[in-house]
Chains A and B, each alone.
Chain A
């Protein structure tokens, strides 16, 4: 029997990309156990907070928004790049996107699951979370749609649903493939693949659906972080009430999101030996994108601080100096160093733009962007507009534990995901190879030649 044309290549792709789904060593279980322990510790700390109230945190008048809000903004920011990058690359038909889209889309989904969790944690009495949902209640009041908090609720939920769909739709053909060749768990893949058969009609419809979803998801992604920024900018607090906060947050979000995608790619490349898929060119290209955003971020930061300083309004300057030379100076300068001074030389010099170099820059960017969120929130909360109301904040062990638990939860979700679903889109890789080869076995007119 003759073998299909792409048999050997397909076999190699299946072997490389499906192996992590069905083979797990002791290192995997050890890592999972470590992450689960951190998560359990965080859950215990949260239970402790629920029992004792928010007094166990560092929250204090007037700093009533602090680490939980920092984490909320940080994670929603991380969620940005994934789907947005994937959508932009798909719409523009960028060929090197193929191995990275799945990873990027998964980041968005998981980050969006974690970010809003901090709002629930911050509520204290978490069982009252449904008060924010618009419904006619016995209190005789519907939630006020003029509150940016409700805009956030609407936009984030829409984005989460859109991102989940955008992750799931392109995965259906791969799930069907695994259903047909998997050694076990076939019931799961049979259910998730929705009876996909791979007919020409289905392929055409799926490709159209992915394109439509990409067009829907891009404005949604931008709106989400704009609305998150408006939670701050719609107040009249110093250094929050800024017209550029929307784009400033969006740029920062994409910046941190790209870094998260790169870090995840590097980890999977190492752990699952996917060097043939996550190639140096992917790190190089995304590294250049990261470099562009580092300059954009610095430009926005400079513009934001420059106008505050030049305006010379006392309440603005109080926050300004509090960040630059006051108690928040280590975090502020740490942010500048991690977001600009360290990554730029690494990313600008071609020789340093290796997978390891780009990963290293990404780690600094992620840390720096967390500090950025922290300084934005704490700086203003500690120095609000009313001058008699000043305060100081430092996070408690409970908050730090919950934050570490959230990072562990993210890693846990991602690792479990990669053990159930292929982390690289198999059919897109195959399609890419076929397109790369050109029409070796087909060219217009071939049919008529065969017929004649």
Chain B
């Protein structure tokens, strides 16, 4: 698969190029906009999967709560203190341990889902854009388009140039 890069100055131009390239038939998932700061006006991906993070956080919190209950109440039930052979499962302390572990679970869930959904911890980029990242760091907007068909290469490059890209590779 060939990747074409276009460097832009204006977000408007980049967005304009994205729309034209989509009209050409390139799928949304093959278009990426890389920036050094968030540009809220640029929406290329339909659903980035943000809700996954919240869901994992809640799931982690629930698992943590149950683990806390099992740890604190289970300990009291299994290991009897010398109080007449009856376990003491006091709600306050069990609740505090449940709360702490709920937080731990939620944090773990958030980190795990973020790393997974954002494709982090993959140290090899999906395509070679490293040479252009310096321009992105300086404030440029990099449009990366993965071309499924060779006959799209020239039209896409033309679109990028027409839209105002100051560097096309």
CB distance B107 to A180 under 8 Å? no
Q: A205-B53, A216-B110 are in contact. Are A195 and B103 (CB under 8 A)?
A: no
Given known A134-B71, A145-B93, A208-B50, contact A1–B100 (CB-CB < 8 A)? no
B107–A161 CB distance below 8 A: yes
The contact of A220 among B16, B103, B113, by CB within 8 Å, is: B103
Chain A neighbourhood of B32, CB < 8 A: 197, 199-201
Partner pick for A205 among B48, B107, B125, B135, CB 8 A cutoff: B48
Which of chain A's residues have a CB closer than 8 A to the CB of B138?
Answer: 3-4, 7, 10-11
User: How many chain A residues have a CB neighbour from B under 8 Å?
Assistant: 70
Residue in contact with A213 in the complex, picked from B38, B104, B110, B122, CB distance below 8 Å:
B110
User: What distance in Å separates the Cβ of B160 from its nearest Cβ neighbour in chain A?
Assistant: 14
CA distance A1 to B9 in the complex (A): 11
Stretch at the interface among A305-313, A318-326, A441-449: A441-449
| CB-contact partner of A202 in B42, B106, B119, under 8 A | B119
Q: Give the interface SS of chain A, mostly helix, strand, loop or mixed.
A: helix
Query: What are the residues of chain A within 8 A of B19 when measuring CB–CB?
Result: 447, 451
Distance between Cα atoms of A450 and B162 in the complex (Å) = 11
Cβ-based interface call for B34 (8 A) = yes
Q: Which A residues are CB-close (under 8 A) to B9?
A: 2-5
Task: Return B34 CB to nearest CB of chain A, in Å.
Answer: 5
A194 part of interface (Cβ distance < 8 Å): yes
In angstroms, how far is the closest chain A Cβ from the Cβ of B17? 10
Cα–Cα distance between A208 and B48 once the two chains are bound (Å): 10
Q: Is the CB of B148 closer than 8 A to any CB of chain A?
A: no
Q: Does A349 contact B (CB under 8 A)?
A: no
- Are A199 and B93 in contact, CB atoms less than 8 angstroms apart? no
Is A227 located at the chain interface by the 8 A CB criterion?
A: yes
Interface residues of B in 132-150 (CB under 8 A from A): 133-141
**Chain A hits for B62, CB < 8 A:** none
Q: Is B155 an interface residue (CB 8 A)?
A: no
Contact (Cβ within 8 A) A1 B114 = no
Q: Which of A158, A181, A216 makes the CB contact (< 8 A) with B57?
A: A216
Listed residue (A191, A227, A446) with the most chain B CB atoms within 10 angstroms of its CB: A446
B120 to chain A, nearest CB (A): 4
In the complex, B169 has a CB within 8 A of chain A: no
A208 touches B100 (CB 8 A): no
Contact of A198 among B36, B44, B48, B167 (CB under 8 A): B36
- Whether B101 pairs with A158 at a CB distance below 8 angstroms is yes
**Which A residues touch B54, using CB under 8 A?**
208, 212
A377 shortest CB reach to chain B, Å = 22
**CB-CB under 8 A for A205 and B114, given A177-B137, A195-B122, A223-B99:** yes
Task: Give complex CA distance A146, B94 in Å.
Answer: 8
**Which of A248-256, A401-409, A427-435 participates in binding chain B?**
A427-435
Which one of A140, A197, A202, A223 has the greatest number of beta carbons of chain B within 10 Å? A197
Chain A residues in 8 Å Cβ range of B166: 1-2
Q: Which of A145, A158, A203 contacts B107 (CB 8 A)?
A: A158
A-B interface contact total, Cβ < 8 Å: 204
Task: Name A431's contact: one of B13, B37, B137 (CB within 8 Å).
Answer: B37
In the assembled complex, B75 has its CB within 8 A of some CB on chain A: yes
A256 to chain B, nearest CB (A): 23
Shortest CB-to-CB span from B12 to chain A, Å, is: 5
Q: Is B2 an interface residue (CB 8 A)?
A: no
Pair B100/A155 contact, Cβ less than 8 Å: yes
Contact yes or no, A447 B36, CB < 8 A? no
B13, B123, B133, B138 interface centre (most CB from chain A within 10 Å): B138
A442 and B12 form a contact (CB under 8 A): yes
Judging by beta carbons under 8 Å apart, are A205 and B118 in contact? yes
Min CB distance B159 to A, Å, is 12
Closest Cβ neighbor of B144 among chain A residues = A199
Q: Which of A23-31, A47-55, A165-173, A357-365 contacts B (4 or more CB under 8 A)?
A: A165-173
The residue in chain A whose Cβ has the minimal distance to the Cβ of B42 is A200
Task: Tell me the complex Cα distance, A402–B79, Å.
Answer: 39
Tell me whether B119 and A145 are in contact (CB under 8 A).
no
Take A134-B71, A155-B100 as given contacts and tell me if A212 and B134 are in contact as well, using a CB distance cutoff of 8 Å: no
- Is the pair A205, B50 in contact by a Cβ cutoff of 8 Å? yes
Residues of A within 8 A of B99 (CB): 155, 219, 223
Within 8 A of A (CB), among B72-111: 72, 75-76, 78-79, 81, 88, 90, 93-94, 96-97, 99-101, 103-104, 106-107, 110-111
Q: Which 6 pairs show the lowest CB-CB distances between chains A and B?
A: A4-B139, A154-B100, A430-B37, A6-B139, A208-B50, A209-B114
The 25 sampled A-B contact pairs (Cβ below 8 Å) are A1-B166, A1-B167, A9-B139, A14-B137, A140-B79, A145-B71, A146-B90, A150-B93, A155-B99, A158-B101, A161-B107, A162-B107, A177-B36, A180-B137, A195-B122, A196-B118, A198-B34, A205-B49, A205-B117, A208-B53, A219-B99, A223-B100, A430-B139, A441-B12, A442-B10
